[in-house]
């Protein structure tokens, strides 16, 4: 039986902190925490703008770091360990070249590695880890305690078996959830059966299934998806919001549909209520295809043996609506009934 462990990581919070520095709190789609703003101001006062010269996206970078240090317990990973990671530019080369790691501007892996070594040295100079431990860890630890208690009430065995079936993967081993204050309000998957979850976000069936379903797409499926999106102006507009405003990716709608399906099947949630939640996800109509996919998936008699193959069949056999997408959504998930 897989166990779920909830922990913290100063290293991942440091990586997320660099992205916080680039956020204009007054002109952003998300609402941020007073604790984030106060901690950022404290570090900015100590570093005098030395950390504001470009960054790599936190989700992709944390994922690559975790993939290069398999079996590492990142709850014990220090800023000095991070520095060692960046001493080898090859660690981030593939991530940058493939776009797994988003970056504010185009630089070589050597330049980015040197930049992050400088950043981490500056954090060490101002005692970032001690300040994090004093200011942020008590908040994070309270969330860890809540998460651990919540996990005791979850029976995820059947859901994990279905995730394994959908992803055609090896049996799921122990799951590790890293609670971060600096990633708020974002959660994201990292290597293996681990993910970073922000503070004040519930540890529940939905978020666990969502994050573990990431990594399901392939090149053919992504191409079919984009062909479908580009066939309709409304879908193109919503997809642009998903990518540019929500900073998400092309497999997000697949993951959302699977999440709803697993919640319906293994958490006893009502399909109609899930459709209403889906219609309101990400601020509104940002992910319409996920709603149509969930509607189709929920009609399957059995969990598909290979989700990517199932999705490929959906697109190739033109099972999704073409034209008048909003009308279709209003039929299966009426907007006036959606949760606000």
| Model pLDDT, residue 323 | 83
Distance CA 65, CA 95 (A): 10
Q: What is the pLDDT of residue 71?
A: 67
Residues 198 and 219 in one domain: no
Whether residue 195 is found in the same domain as residue 220: no
In a domain, 165, yes or no: no
Q: Show the DSSP H helices in the chain as ranges.
A: 10-20, 34-47, 58-68, 79-86, 90-98, 109-125, 128-135, 137-151, 157-167, 205-213, 219-229, 233-240, 252-266, 271-279, 288-297, 307-316, 325-332
Q: Is 262 found in the same domain as 326?
A: yes
Q: Is 160 contained in some domain?
A: no
DSSP state of 24: -
Contacts of residue 32, defined as CB under 8 A and 6 or more positions apart, other chains included, come to 23, 25, 184, 185
Per-residue pLDDT, 328: 87
Indicate whether 198 and 285 sit together in one domain: no
- Residue whose entry in the numeric block shows the structure tokens 């590695």: 113
Structural contact between residues 234 and 326, judged by C-beta atoms closer than 8 angstroms = yes
Contact call for residues 15 and 65 (beta carbons, < 8 A): yes
190 & 299 share domain: no
| 45 and 194 inside one domain | yes
- In a domain, residue 124? The reply is yes
CA trace torsion 203, 205, 208, 210 (10° rounding): -130
> Which has the closest alpha carbon to 160: 262, 255, 7, 261?
262
Residue 192 forms part of a structural domain: yes
Same domain, 137 and 283: no
Q: What is the side-by-side order of every strand in the sheet holding 175-180? A: 4-8, 175-180, 194-198, 188-189
In this structure, the answer to whether residues 194 and 54 fall within a common structural domain is yes
pLDDT of residue 141: 98
In a domain, 169, yes or no: no
> Do the bridges between strand 188-189 and strand 175-180 make them parallel or antiparallel, or are there none, so unpaired?
unpaired
On whether residue 207 sits in a domain, the answer given is: no
Do 136 and 276 lie in one domain? The reply is no
DSSP 135-177: HTHHHHHHHHHHHHHHHTT---HHHHHHHHHHHT-PPP--EEE
Q: Does residue 167 lie within any of the structural domains?
A: no
Does one domain contain both 244 and 333? Answer: yes
Provide the number of structural domains found in the chain. 2
Residue 81: give the domain boundaries.
4-154+174-202
Q: Are 137 and 234 within one domain?
A: no
pLDDT tens, per residue, the chain with 340 residues: 688 999 999 999 999 999 999 999 988 878 899 999 999 999 999 999 899 889 999 999 999 999 997 667 999 999 999 999 999 999 999 999 998 999 999 999 999 999 999 999 999 999 999 999 999 999 999 999 999 999 999 999 999 999 999 999 999 989 999 999 999 999 999 999 999 999 999 899 999 999 999 999 999 999 999 999 999 999 999 999 998 888 788 999 999 999 999 999 999 999 999 998 888 887 667 899 999 999 999 999 999 999 999 999 999 999 999 888 888 888 888 865 544 4
140 with 198, same domain? Answer: yes
| Contact of 308 with 214, CB cutoff 8 Å | no
Q: Give Cβ neighbours of residue 28 (< 8 Å, ≥ 6 apart).
A: none
In a domain, 128, yes or no: yes
C-alpha–C-alpha distance, residues 147 and 140, integer Å: 10
Q: What is the pLDDT of residue 284?
A: 67
């Amino acid at each position: 039986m897989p166990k779920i462990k909830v922990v913290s990581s100063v290293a991942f919070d440091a990586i997320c902190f660099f992205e916080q520095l680039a956020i204009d709190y007054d002109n952003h789609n998300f609402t941020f925490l007073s604790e984030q703003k106060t901690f950022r101001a404290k570090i900015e006062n100590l570093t005098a703008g030395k950390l504001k010269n470009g960054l790599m996206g936190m989700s992709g970078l944390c994922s690559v770091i975790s993939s290069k240090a398999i079996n590492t317990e990142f709850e014990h990973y220090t800023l000095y360990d991070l520095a060692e990671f960046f001493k080898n530019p090859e660690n981030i080369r593939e991530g940058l070249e493939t776009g797994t790691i988003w970056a504010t501007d185009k630089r070589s892996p050597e330049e980015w590695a040197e930049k992050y070594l400088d950043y981490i040295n500056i954090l060490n100079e101002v005692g970032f880890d001690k300040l994090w431990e004093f200011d942020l860890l008590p908040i994070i630890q309270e969330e860890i305690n809540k998460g651990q208690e919540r996990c005791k009430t979850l029976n995820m065995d059947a859901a994990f078996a279905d995730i394994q079936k959908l992803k055609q993967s090896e049996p799921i081993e122990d799951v590790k959830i890293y609670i971060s204050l600096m990633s708020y309000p974002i959660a994201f998957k990292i290597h293996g059966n681990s993910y970073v979850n922000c503070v004040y976000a519930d540890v529940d069936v939905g978020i666990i299934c969502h994050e573990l379903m990431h990594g399901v797409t392939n090149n053919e499926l992504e191409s079919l998806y984009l062909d479908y999106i580009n066939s309709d102006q409304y879908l193109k507009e919503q997809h642009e919001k998903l990518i540019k405003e929500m900073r998400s990716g092309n497999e997000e709608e697949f993951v959302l549909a699977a999440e709803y399906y697993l919640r319906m099947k293994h958490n006893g949630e009502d399909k109609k209520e899930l459709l209403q939640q889906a219609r309101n996800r990400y601020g509104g109509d940002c992910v319409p295809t996920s709603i149509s996919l969930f509607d189709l998936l929920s009609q399957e008699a059995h969990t598909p043996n290979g989700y990517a193959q199932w999705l490929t069949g959906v697109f190739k056999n033109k099972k999704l609506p073409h034209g008048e997408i909003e009308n279709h959504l209003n039929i299966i998930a009426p907007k006036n009934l959606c949760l606000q």
